[in-house]
Amino acid sequence: DMVKTMELSPDTGWLGPDSSLCLRASCYVRQADSINVSADYNTKKETGYVGLKNHGATCYMNGLLQSLFHVGEFRRIVYAIESEEAPECGKKEDPVDVSKGDIDGDGSAPPLIQALQNVFYKLQTSDQAVNCRELMKSFGWDTMDAFTQHDAQELNRILCDRLEEQMKGTPMDGSIKRLFCGEMENYIECIDVDYKSRRNETFYDIQLNIKGERGQYHANIEESLRDFTSEETLEGDNLYEAEGHGKQRAKKGIRFLSFPPVLNLQLKRFHFDLEKMDMVKLNNRFEFYRELNLSPFAPNAGSYVLYAVVVHSGDVNSGHYYAHIKPHLNSGWFKFDDDSVTPCSEYAAVEDNYGGSDLQVVEYFARSPWELRQQTPQVRQRIHNAYMLVYIRQDVAAQVLAPPDPRVTNLRMVERCDREVRLAEQRRREKMEQPLRIKVKLLFERSLCKMTGFWDHTEVPHEQYLKMNRDQPVHELASEAEAFIKVSATNMALFVLSYRNNPRQVRFAFMNSTTTLRNHIPQFNQPHFDTSDPYLVVLCMVSRGYDLHALKWRPTKENHTADELGRWDDAHVTLLVVKYFCVRTRKIVTLGCYYAPNTEKLISMINDGWVMERLRGYVQKGEVAPLPAEEGDGHAWECWEEFSEHDIQQRNTKTAVNNEQLWSGDVVIWQLAGQADARETREGLSPNGGDNSEVPPTFAVNNVQDLAAYILNSIDVVATLHDARQPLCIDGMVSNGVWAPPRPTSATKDKKDGQAVEERPEDAALSLCRTNHRPPQVRELKMDLRWNLSHVKGAVCRAFGHKRADVQENLWLFHAAPSSTYEEPLNMHPARNESTTLKELQRSTTFLSNPAKQPMTLHALELPSDSAQEVGDRGLLPLCVRYYDDAVREVGSQVIYVPHSGLVSDVLAGARKYNRPEYGITGPLRVLEVVESRLHKLFAPDAMVRSMVCFSKSNIFYHCLRVESDADAESMPDGHKLIEIFHCDRQSQQAFAQPLLLTAGPGEKSGSIKARCKAKLQVPDAEFKSWRLVRCTRLGKTHLKDDEAWDAEVTVDARLCLEHVHPNPTNNLARQSRYNKPLTIKA
């Protein structure tokens, strides 16, 4: 703005005492040396270094890798490790499948060490930013991992651990430890007696507090180190139990014994705030030095020089990592920000990352001098600050930072990396050429003969792999095939796998030699075509007379000349894919391809001996049963067309091919007529199960149609037998008194097909319960979807060794664990009876998107043996009561029986009858019902049983009653009342677990109620410190402070809840969310 001359006076502040002109200005650098580079900026040319690409949220990994790469000794260690080459990394430069990688040449994942070598070698030799996808694949990461922000220090620790594991037993074993590992001593020394306890520990990094445990902020790195090594006096209630001396006063602390050549310091910027009950980032000013003298902290420690500063910019939930690195002692500083590398000043690398705050720019012209003098300077937090510091011992810095020569260190690795660079360039070129070229998978009749079973176009094998221009004519493809098999193109015809709209089939179709390959490329939405990996599947059919396997001219008849298939007329000649079904072995084999005029009868291929000739080899190998010899050539044959996997249609063998609506590419299956399934005769059972309806029937397979039905209806079933006393488990939560996330007892529960099966967290939670229940038993069964309920129950009973009829009568079936699902028993549904089939049960499965392709899961539960008599003969109502002790832990359960018109007092009487001393439940009992983890109703003894929610529910093990001691209600003082306190998940805000009932007096402080909840539930201090007491009303939630009365705002709908993290959500999205997913390297 312009200032008028009349305003230039001492009063306005523009003129000084000697009439001098005063100018006021304010400026500062918001972020030192931030450079916005243009698109043509060449990092290699300008700085000599290249960056790393960000693949989503991998900036933390990029900053760490750069800080490790420029430690020349670490790079030398990585280069020197000998690793076996992955199969796809062999010396032969085979044709590259572009679909396996992107434009940068990412193939399948190599070993971790090899992937890290590749990244480091490219950082040293490449002119462009380096791709890290290969390294991430070697970590075992998926796309979600790439978009999940993690901690750089955590990745550093895990990466070094994995490298050390893979270097064991090699010449480089222990190299990383010698470079990064220091040693410290944890000690406790008694003051009044001569007793000392010492334990040495190694460390790879030191975590320094920004904010001390007493709430004070540290100003610099020396203060934080002194705090780290400060002594604590154990006295008063915290006396130390010294062996042989009893409780004694003692001093406890940490001493450094040695520091490593490369020292990693993590500044604990992320801190759990007990007032906010959440993680926060500390942006306070914290100074660190270019040179750090560590002699006061360890003997002969010496001086360290600052080498790298890894910076975090942002807050606790989102942010960005980058690194300032000084690659050589005499070089300047550089900023490595993903793929950008720029030079920066020492101030930008050090002082600018202390944290703290910056002055805000102020409009001085709008304020008078007096206002400016009175105004407090406006500041804003500096959200970019140092997070990791890397120091190198001064006396070895030159040696540690010296870059190695990869050819001297490991020439074999250099040759491999150079070879992979060439392959990557080849992939890049092929990626660019992909729109102009097409891959061709060439197969022959002998290839089809390897196929068994029904037709599956995805299983068609190929022998030759070609790449051709999309606009090349088909006859040039025939010339390529001619050169490969040495058969004249005039004696062959080409057929391409194509899609038919009506009917919807994938079959071979003739390729006219005058068309181009582009004419045969399928549409993008067709089932046999993948747009990410486009290719054609072409069958090369040669004339009869050529040997099927050798493709040499060996005619079986004299004076036979080769057919000129090059003049193929699809309007008059038909090519059929021919198979044979053996009833005795239940096997379908492919005989090959048969071509004939479409006016010829189907039986012709039998009459001219072609089928018998092709069948001979399979009989000799024992793959199919020999044909009955006594009938000679007079076999009766049946022919079936494989219209689809589910539709097998019989064809008239004495009718012409075109009259049977058969076209080139159709699949026909021959079989001998009149053969019976020997397996049915052997078992002697009828499809209806015979006299014993509990025994599952066997369905005869006498023809191809029967086989298709058998395969279609065969299903793998995983059956799990549960104990009726198994605890209630809703949303993975079991009332076992453990509030921390359950840890599986072992990494694997058992093995299936040689593969380890991971134990679920809910299994670990169930194992910690106090109930005396049998663990679930699992069996894998083969069933038929045509079986009815009685067959299914009988098969399940036999699988678990139960043969008594009463067990099957009392067996309930579910799609999920009975005590974990609200669904009613499958065999108790009013719309189902004993004739209901397994197919109908499968349709009711809501957990499978494609039931036909996945095993079916059945959960079984055996009711008490007296259940049928009590329910059927006496007409009583079964109820499941679950006993809970004072800590709201389930300690047992029992099925009781009460009259339909009974009272809650009847329930209490039945519950008392089965209450055991080991349950620890004494005094009067009360009955309550919990629905969706909230108290539904606390029942009075005179209430009707009909008023309960569980009255109309069949699954009594989920819709159950809770029985517990009512002693606190009887001794409740006047004015106090029994209140419900439920558990609420902090993330989803959904109720979970069993609520607790607590007596509370008027005006009682929230801190007192929290303390009583902690004592009642027996929650450890470390776990309970993050729990919050919350008042819930219709208007929202209020977090109660410890000195606030719980009933300060009394409303009709007010409820209390304990808000904390759900320890074991069964929702897969919750378990694998980007915020909950742990950082792992699976290599």
Catalytic residues: 59, 320
Rounded to whole angstroms, the Cα distance separating 487 from 481 reads 8
Burial class, 255, CB count within 10 angstroms (exposed 0-12 / middle 13-18 / buried 19+)? middle
User: DSSP class of residue 850?
Assistant: S
Cβ neighbours for 88, distance < 8 A, ≥ 6 positions apart: 107, 108
Kindly write down the DSSP assignment for every residue of 809-840, as one continuous string. Answer: HTEEEESS-GGG--PPPGGG-TT--TT-BHHH
Cβ neighbours for 721, distance < 8 A, ≥ 6 positions apart: 776, 777, 778, 779, 796, 800, 860, 861, 862
Cα–Cα distances (Å) from 323 to 121, 338, 388, 869, in that order, read 20, 9, 9, 76
Q: Which of 127, 114, 83, 136 is nearest to 420 (CA)?
A: 114
Cβ neighbours for 482, distance < 8 A, ≥ 6 positions apart: 488, 489, 492
Q: Which of 974, 988, 959 is nearest to 1061 (CA)?
A: 988
Q: Which of 333, 316, 337 is nearest to 383 (CA)?
A: 316
Rounded to whole angstroms, the Cα distance separating 211 from 232 reads 17
Q: Which of 150, 131, 139 is nearest to 312 (CA)?
A: 150
**One-letter identity of residue 727:** P
Rounded to whole angstroms, the Cα distance separating 13 from 22 reads 7
Rounded to whole angstroms, the Cα distance separating 460 from 464 reads 13
CB atoms within 10 A of CB 751: 9
Q: Across 194-248, where does the E strand assignment appear?
A: 196-203, 206-209, 232-234, 240-242, 246-248
Rounded to whole angstroms, the Cα distance separating 162 from 154 reads 13
Strands 729-730 and 733-734, sheet pairing: antiparallel
Q: Which two tokens stand for residue 282?
A: 């500390």
Q: Which two tokens stand for residue 914?
A: 């089965």
Cα–Cα distances (Å) from 416 to 82, 406, 409, 413, in that order, read 12, 12, 14, 5
Angle at 957 between CA 956 and CA 963, to 5 degrees: 90
Kindly write down the DSSP assignment for every residue of 515-580, as one continuous string. Answer: SBGGGGPPPTTSTT--TTS-EEEEEEEE-BTB-TTT--B--SSTT-----GGG--TTTEEEEEEEE
The residue with tokens 């430069």 is 93
CA dihedral 213→217→218→224, nearest 10 degrees, is 20
Query: What are the beta bridge partners of residue 580?
Result: 589, 670
Cβ neighbours for 671, distance < 8 A, ≥ 6 positions apart: 580, 581, 582, 583, 637, 638, 640, 703, 704
Total residue length of the chain: 1083
Question: In b/e form, how buried is each residue of 934-964, taking b as 16+ CB within 10 angstroms?
Answer: ebeebbeeebebeebebeeebbbbbbbbbbb
3-class SS of residue 796: helix
Q: Which two tokens stand for residue 9?
A: 């006076």
Q: Which of 519, 609, 506 is nearest to 557 (CA)?
A: 609
Rounded to whole angstroms, the Cα distance separating 792 from 834 reads 10
Cα–Cα distances (Å) from 188 to 207, 249, 252, 299, in that order, read 21, 10, 4, 20
